[in-house]
Structure 1
Amino acid sequence: MLLLVLLCFFLGAGLWISMSLAAVGFVAMTAVHPSPGLFLASAMWESSGSWTLAALPMFVWMGEILFRTKLSEELFNGLAPWVRWLPGRLLHVNILACGIFGSVSGSSAATCATVSKIALPELRRRGYDEGVAIGSLATAGTLGILIPPSIIMVVYAVAAQVSIVRVFIAGCLPGLLVMVLFSAYIVVWALLNPSKQPKAEPRLNFSEKLRVSVQLIPCALLIIATIGSMFVNVATATEAAGFGVLGSLVLAAVTRTLTWESFYESLKGATRLSCMIMFILAGAAFLTKAMALTGIPAALAEGVRALNLGPYGIIAILTLVYVVLGTALDGVSMIVLTTSIVVPMIQAAGFDLVWFGIFIVLLVEIAEITPPVGFNLFVMQTMTGREQGEVAMASLPFFMMLVVTVVLITLFPVTLVTGLPEYLLAR
C-alpha cells in the first residue's frame, strides 16, 4: 500500500511515468537489497536490449508514414460503393476503414484522426446523422490497437514475456467480432430511425465498383506483406515490421506524398513516441524486478486465491480495476503499471497469458472512449468542436458493444482468441 501511495504521489506531482516507476522500484529494492543501483542498470539494459522490442519503433514509424499519405481517402472512396445496400449505408465505411487502416497503423489515435479527417466532411455533406457518425468514428478508431500489428500488443507481449506473433494472431477474431457488432448496431439504429437516413444514392454496377475499388489494392498488398508474413511463419514480428516500413515508404512514394519534409516528420514522430514507450518499459522492468524480490506479487496472488473468488470473479474485479485506471491513464501506462502484479494472479487462476493480452487490449479500447482521459474522445472533440460529454454520449452504444465483446471472449476463450494462433503456428 505504501508503494502505491508513493507512486500516486510521484504521478500527481507531475514526474514522468517512467521516472515514477523507477523511483518506486528503487524504494522497494532498497528494503531488500543493499545495492539497488546495480539492479536498476541491469533491468534497463535488459528491457531495451531486446531484439523482439525492435518491432516497436518499426511499427510506430510505419504508422507515422501512412498517417501522412492519402491512404484514408483511398480507403473511404474504395469501400463506399460496397456498403450502400446496408441500412446505415456509408456509416459502415467508418468501421471498415478504421479496421483496415488500424491493421497497418497500429495506433488508435492515428486511426481515429486519419479516417475522421476524410469521413466526417463526407458524411456531413451527404446528410448523415452526426451523432452516430462521431460515435462510430471515436470507437472504431480503437480498432487500431486490436487488429494487428498493434503497438499496445507489442508492449504487453514484451512486459508479460509472451510471443508477439501469438498475441497478434489472437487479436484477429476479436477484432472482426468488434467490427461486426459495431456494424450490427448501425443496422439496428438505421432501421429504427429511417427519418434520419439521407436519400439513397445512385447504385453502381459491379464493374464500376471494381474500378473504384482499385484504390484498395496498395493497402491490401501492404496488409498481406506485413501480417501475412507472420501468419505463415515466414517472418518474425520484427522482420514483418521491417517489411511494413519498406512497404509504407513505397506506398507513400507511389502516391507522391513522400517528401523530405514528410519523411523527416514521420521519423521525428516515431522517434519521440518510441523513446517514450521504451523509457516507460525500462522503468517498469526495474519495478517488476523489485516487486519480484520483495515478494509482493506472489503475496497478492496468494491473497486473491485465498478469497476463493474463482477465475471469473478475478476477471470481474480486474475489469473494474482497468476501467477505473482507464479514466486517468493511457493504455501503455495501464499495461506497464499492472503487469508485474496481475500476471502472477492470472497464471494462478489458470488463464492463458495470450488470452489475457487480448482481454487487456479490449479494456484499453474501452479506456480510449472513457472520460476524462479518453484519447479518442480528445481526438474527436478537437476535430468536431463538440464538448467531450457529447462525444462520450455518442460513443456510448458502441462502448456497450465493446463490453459485449469482453463478455464473449471470456465465455469462449478458445474459439475466439487462443484457438487461431494454436492452429496456425502448429502447422
Structure 2
Amino acid sequence: MFDATQMFIVVAVLLTLVLFGTHIAVALGITSALGIYLMLGDVEVVLSFISNTAYEGIRDYIFAVIPLFILMGEFLARSGAARDLFNLVNRLTTWLPGRLGVATVLANAVFAFVSGVSIAAAATFSRIAYPEMKRFGYQRQFSLSCIAGSACLGMLIPPSVLMIVWGVLTEQSIGSLFMAGVVPGIVVVLAYSAYIVGTAILRPDIVGERKVALAPGAIPSADHMKHDDLGGTLFGTLLVVFLVCGVLGGIWFGFFTPTEGAGVGAVAALVIALIRGLRMKEVFEVVLSAGRSSAPLLLLLVMAQLYSRVLSMTGITGAVQSALLDTGLPAVAILGIMILIWFVLGCIIDSISIILLTVPVFAPVAAGLGYDPLAFAIIGILAIETGLLTPPFGILVFTVKAALPQENVSVGEIFRGSTPFWACLIGVIIAIIIFPQIATWLPNLGRV
C-alpha cells in the first residue's frame, strides 16, 4: 500500500510532465508505471500489468465506437452537410432578428449530432457562416464570437467524443450519456439564441440592419444571399436529420448498442456522401483522416485505463475522496471546487486530456456526495467546454482565428465577444446543479 510520500511523488511527477508539455498519453503511462513500481517494486510485474491492460483495452468492443462515429462525421462533413444546414436554417429564419447568428447556432447544434468535435465545428463554420455575416454588415467581434460560442455544442450534443471517453473511464452506459446531453444541449441553444435575438433587437447596428444597402422599404432576406438549389439543400438536410434520428433513436430504444449504432451511422453516412457526389479518392482520404484522428484517442484511452487502475490500487482516489469529504464543506462547495479546477485546466490543455486526468478521481467523489452520475457527467463536460472559451488559451478562439487568417483579428477581440456565450454556459451548469432532471429526464424516460 502507498504511503503519503509515494502518493505525492506520483501526483507531482504527473503534474510536472503535463506542465512541461509532455504528451498526455506518455505522461499517464510514465506515471502509471512509476506508481506500480513504487507499490510492488518489480519491473517485470510493471511490464505485465501494462501489457495486460493494453490488450484488454484494445479488444474492448466499445472502443470501436470512437473511430466509427468520427468516420460518420467525416463523411457527412465532406458531403456538404454543414453548408446545407446553415443555408436551410438561414432561409427558414428570415423573419428573425439576428438570423445569421441564430442560423449559426442552430446549424452547429444539428451538425454536432454528426461531428462530435467542437474544434471541427469551429473551423467549419468559420468558413461557412462568417463570410455571410460579413457581407451583411454584422460586427466582426459579434460574428466570430457566435461561431466560437456555438462550436461548444459539438462536445455536448451526442455523439460526443467527450461522452464516449467519459463513459469508458467511468463504465457508464454511453447510450445513456448520449441521451443525457440532448436536453442540456437544447437549453444551451435556446440561451444562445435568446442572447443573439436580444442583442439584435437592442442594438440592430451589430447585426448589420443599418449597414446593408437595399431597395427602399426592403428588408434583408435570404433571397439576397447566394444559396445552392433549395431542393438539393432540403434533400441533403433531411438525409442528415433521418440519419441522426435513426442512429440515436436506435440506441435509445435498444435496437442496437452504441457501437452498432456507430457502425450503422458510418455506413449510412458513406451512402449519403456517395449520393451527394463524393468520389472514391475522397472516400479513401476520409478513412485515412478518421484513422489519424482515432489512433491517438485509442492510445489515450488505454493509458487512461491504466492510470485509473493505478489510482484505485494505490489508494490515491480514496485519499482524495476522503480529503474532500473530511473538509466538512457542503456538497455544492466541493462540486464548485471541481468545476473551478475544470475551468482552469480548460484554459491550459485540451478537453480529452482534462477528462483523462480528473474524472478517475472526481467521479468517485461525486458519487460519494450523492450526485447523479449522468448529471455530474454533463456538468463536467459543460465546465470543460466552458474552459475552451476562457482566456488565455481557449482553443476554440484560436481555432476561429486560425481559420480566418485574412481577417487579421486578435484573440482578445474574440475572447471579449465570447463572454456572453461563456456566461450562458455557466448559467446552464448552475441550472443542472439545481435541477439535475434537465440531464436525467430523457435517459430515465428511456428506461420506463
Matched, 1:395 2:418: yes
Alpha-carbon distance in structure 2 between the residues aligned to 1:339 and 1:214: 41
- Residue-by-residue CA offset, 1:308-357 (whole Å, 9 max, x unaligned): 11210111000110001111111110001112211221111111212111
Task: Find the counterpart in structure 2 of residue 298 from structure 1.
Answer: 318
Matched, 1:289 2:289: no
Shift of 1:140: 0.5
Is this contact kept in 2: 1:145–1:361, CA < 8 A? Answer: yes
Task: Find the counterpart in structure 1 of residue 196 from structure 2.
Answer: 186
Task: Find the counterpart in structure 2 of residue 419 from structure 1.
Answer: 441
- Residue-by-residue CA offset, 1:218-268 (whole Å, 9 max, x unaligned): 111121122121122211111110111112111111111x22332222112
1:409 to 414, 432, 436: 432
Q: Spell out structure 1 runs of 4+ moving beyond 4 A.
A: 208-212
Task: Find the counterpart in structure 1 of residue 143 from structure 2.
Answer: 133
Matched, 1:146 2:156: yes
- Residue-by-residue CA offset, 1:53-76 (whole Å, 9 max, x unaligned): 211110111122222221112111
Is this contact kept in 1: 2:122–2:399, CA < 8 A? Answer: yes
Alpha-carbon distance in structure 2 between the residues aligned to 1:55 and 1:425: 22
Alpha-carbon distance in structure 2 between the residues aligned to 1:291 and 1:231: 33
Question: What letter corresponds to residue 201 of structure 1 in structure 2?
Answer: P
Alpha-carbon distance in structure 1 between the residues aligned to 2:378 and 2:120: 20
Task: Find the counterpart in structure 2 of residue 279 from structure 1.
Answer: 299
1:112 to 109, 122, 129: 122
Question: What letter corresponds to residue 82 of structure 2 in structure 1?
Answer: S
Alpha-carbon distance in structure 1 between the residues aligned to 2:48 and 2:141: 55
Alpha-carbon distance in structure 2 between the residues aligned to 1:209 and 1:61: 27
2:80 to 60, 70, 73: 70
- Residue-by-residue CA offset, 1:2-42 (whole Å, 9 max, x unaligned): 22221133234443211110111111111222322222122
Matched, 1:364 2:392: no
Percent identity reads 30
Is this contact kept in 1: 2:84–2:233, CA < 8 A? Answer: no
Is this contact kept in 2: 1:67–1:110, CA < 8 A? Answer: no
Is this contact kept in 1: 2:72–2:266, CA < 8 A? Answer: yes
Alpha-carbon distance in structure 2 between the residues aligned to 1:366 and 1:319: 10
Is this contact kept in 1: 2:112–2:154, CA < 8 A? Answer: yes
- Residue-by-residue CA offset, 1:74-114 (whole Å, 9 max, x unaligned): 11111112222222122110000000011111111111222
Residues 1:218 and 1:12: Cα distance change in structure 2 (over 3 Å): same
Is this contact kept in 1: 2:90–2:222, CA < 8 A? Answer: no
Shift of 1:152: 0.9
Question: What letter corresponds to residue 135 of structure 1 in structure 2?
Answer: S
Matched, 1:6 2:13: yes
Shift of 1:275: 1.1
Task: Find the counterpart in structure 2 of residue 28 from structure 1.
Answer: 35
Shift of 1:296: 1.1
Task: Find the counterpart in structure 2 of residue 167 from structure 1.
Answer: 177
Matched, 1:346 2:363: no
> RMSD over aligned Cα, in angstroms?
1.8
Alpha-carbon distance in structure 2 between the residues aligned to 1:31 and 1:233: 45
- Residue-by-residue CA offset, 1:167-213 (whole Å, 9 max, x unaligned): 00000000000000000001111121023332522488xxx989964
Is this contact kept in 2: 1:82–1:209, CA < 8 A? Answer: no
Please state whether the residue corresponding to 1:162 is helix, strand or coil.
coil
Equivalent pairs, count:
421
Please state whether the residue corresponding to 1:371 is helix, strand or coil.
coil
Matched, 1:60 2:83: no
Task: Find the counterpart in structure 1 of residue 134 from structure 2.
Answer: 124
- Pairing of 1:237-386 with structure 2 (within 5 A): 237-256=258-277, 258-385=278-405, 386=409
Task: Find the counterpart in structure 2 of residue 201 from structure 1.
Answer: 220
Shift of 1:215: 4.2
Residues 1:187 and 1:210: Cα distance change in structure 2 (over 3 Å): farther
Alpha-carbon distance in structure 2 between the residues aligned to 1:194 and 1:154: 41
Alpha-carbon distance in structure 2 between the residues aligned to 1:372 and 1:250: 42
Matched, 1:236 2:257: yes
Alpha-carbon distance in structure 1 between the residues aligned to 2:273 and 2:129: 21
- Pairing of 1:79-90 with structure 2 (within 5 A): 79-90=89-100
Task: Find the counterpart in structure 2 of residue 218 from structure 1.
Answer: 239
Please state whether the residue corresponding to 2:424 is helix, strand or coil.
helix
Alpha-carbon distance in structure 1 between the residues aligned to 2:153 and 2:78: 19
Matched, 1:15 2:22: yes
Question: What letter corresponds to residue 7 of structure 1 in structure 2?
Answer: L
Please state whether the residue corresponding to 1:31 is helix, strand or coil.
helix
